[in-house]
A and B are shown apart, each in its own frame.
Chain A
Amino acid sequence: MHPALAVIFLTLFSGGGFGLMALTAIVNDFQIDGGLNPLQTMIALLVSLAFVSIGLLSSTAHLANPKNAWRAFTRWRTSWLAREGVFAVAYYPFAMLYLIWVFFTGHPAALPGLVLANMAALIGLITIFCQGMIYAVLRTIRQWNTPLVPANFYLMGLAIGATILVAIRWATGNPAPALLGTAAALLVLSAVFKGIYYFWISRPAGPTIRTATGFNRLNVRILDPGHTFGTFLTEEFGHTLAPASAHRIKALMYTIAYGVPLILLATVAQSNAAILAILAAVLVVGGIGIERWLFFVEAQHVINLYHGRQHC
């Protein structure tokens, strides 16, 4: 698949933003590490709103005809993309009202505020599920057609949110060992689930050139694709990655998204150096950005069968 930056940014940033909102609500609900103070809560909410907005605005850059984008809210009965749009927009009023509540009352853990926070968190989590299902429902792309996709989206969104929250806590001079442990655990879990996903998609399966042409008992080879230069189909679906470079990029991704941030978080626990927590959050976002790029470029659409691939 063509790795469009607009869609990579959409899933990466809005996933992280919703994950941050969910963790903010949980931390204030259960007063983990004493809960967030009003300033920390407001910073977390602003970062979350900014991330979600970056994601949603960049997604409109993927539209060839954005003047009809408002219609994307109409087909929520059948389309996961429309559902994602509806929930993503429904997130705003709750997150903003919570922000206003904290700003004027200074009580992030008071009941009316927590109701708003948990509504925003719930809607954000539902949006991540819708985002995952956009890809998971496509039977045409085996690498996406698995429940591991929404599971990975959840774990990565929550891991991004947790690391950012750790950075916010330490940067405002307020250590949070339980939160740091949560972030580390989410990073490890996210790395493990991504590993399971890579194992799952490592072998070809699904339709082959034989079922695609109906010559089920014969060897089928392409002689001519029927066009002289690229078409929409080859530009959109023709991207692929050589296995050797895929392995190298995956090693790089694991190092940036999981390895170095975990070491940095361990150092933060020892030294209280806030700058390392911020660096860890930046690395996690960047590393999961690489993961998202791989997610798109490694997806092999069955239309490639008609352009010379024997299986996908």
Chain B
Amino acid sequence: MRLGLVIDLDTCVGCHACAVACKEWNTSGTTGALTDYQPYGAKPSGVWFNRIRHYEIGDYPHNKTINFPMSCMHCENAECVTVCPTGASYKRAEDGIVLVDQSKCMGCNYCSWACPYGARELDRASGTMKKCTLCIDRIYDMEIPEEERQPACVLTCPAHARMFGDFDDPESPVSRAVRERGGYQLMPELNYNPSNHYLPPRVHAPIDTERMRQKGLRAVKDWIHRAVER
């Protein structure tokens, strides 16, 4: 089994709900708390497993805003695990989830140096490295309904831009989505072989913003706006 996420860049609206849900769930989870530094001070900062960045792709008029959530990719070749000198970082053989044993970490930052995706953040309060657990305490919790045994970010996403599943099963929804929509990995040239995949935006005809205002009723409305003095 190789669990991971698929993130649909076409539908992600960049609302940061996944990051907030992640923080809320995991701060009381197995690797919590996720410390905030100066939350009401001049420079608020803190530990997050999931960060959303915003990019403009392409050039006007064929440009588009892309919201780009990134968390741990749970790589097949997880260098963060091999470089760890204490054995605190490990990759579970049964489902491929990469975790940090908080009781073994000595806070040397070496795993964060080895991670190209910025998935690991040092918690200065505990002195240990923290990272996405794929909500391991949710997805295996037999006390909650089966349909809710998913990572908090996936459950909360209002745009349904996130999918969770097993990449080893060719018929799982995540494998089908990657196959059918051309899902890809980030920085494949580094050969970390991340589990998480991203779905590219669907191709749409560009909206002709130049001539849009000239059509039908809108032209009449524009004429009235110009004609009527206020």
Contacts and interface: CB of A to CB of B under 8 A. Distances in A.
State whether these chains interact: yes
A63 B106 CA distance: 6
B58 A218 contact: yes
B127 A139 contact: no
Contacts of A218: 57-58
Interface in B156-190: 184-190
Given A207-B116, A207-B187, A213-B186, A75 B87 contact: yes
Interface residues on B, range: 35 or more
B124 interface: yes
B54 to A, nearest CB: 4
Nearest to B102: A65
Contacts, number: 173
A78 B110 CA distance: 13
Interface string B44-84: 11111001111111110000011010100000000101111
B113 interface: yes
Q: Which of B66, B104, B118 has the most CB of A within 10 A?
A: B118
Contact of A64 (B44, B81, B128): B128
A68 B106 contact: yes
Contacts of A301: 113
Interface stretch (A147-155, A186-194, A230-238): A230-238
Interface of A: 1, 62-69, 71-75, 78-82, 85, 134, 137-141, 206-207, 211-215, 218-233, 236-237, 301-303, 306-307
Interface of B: 16, 43-48, 51-59, 65-66, 68, 70, 79, 81-88, 103-110, 112-118, 121-122, 124, 126-128, 184-191, 198, 200
5 contacts: A1-B113, A85-B85, A139-B190, A211-B186, A219-B57
Given A73-B85, A79-B83, 5 more contacts: A134-B110, A140-B79, A232-B47, A236-B109, A236-B122
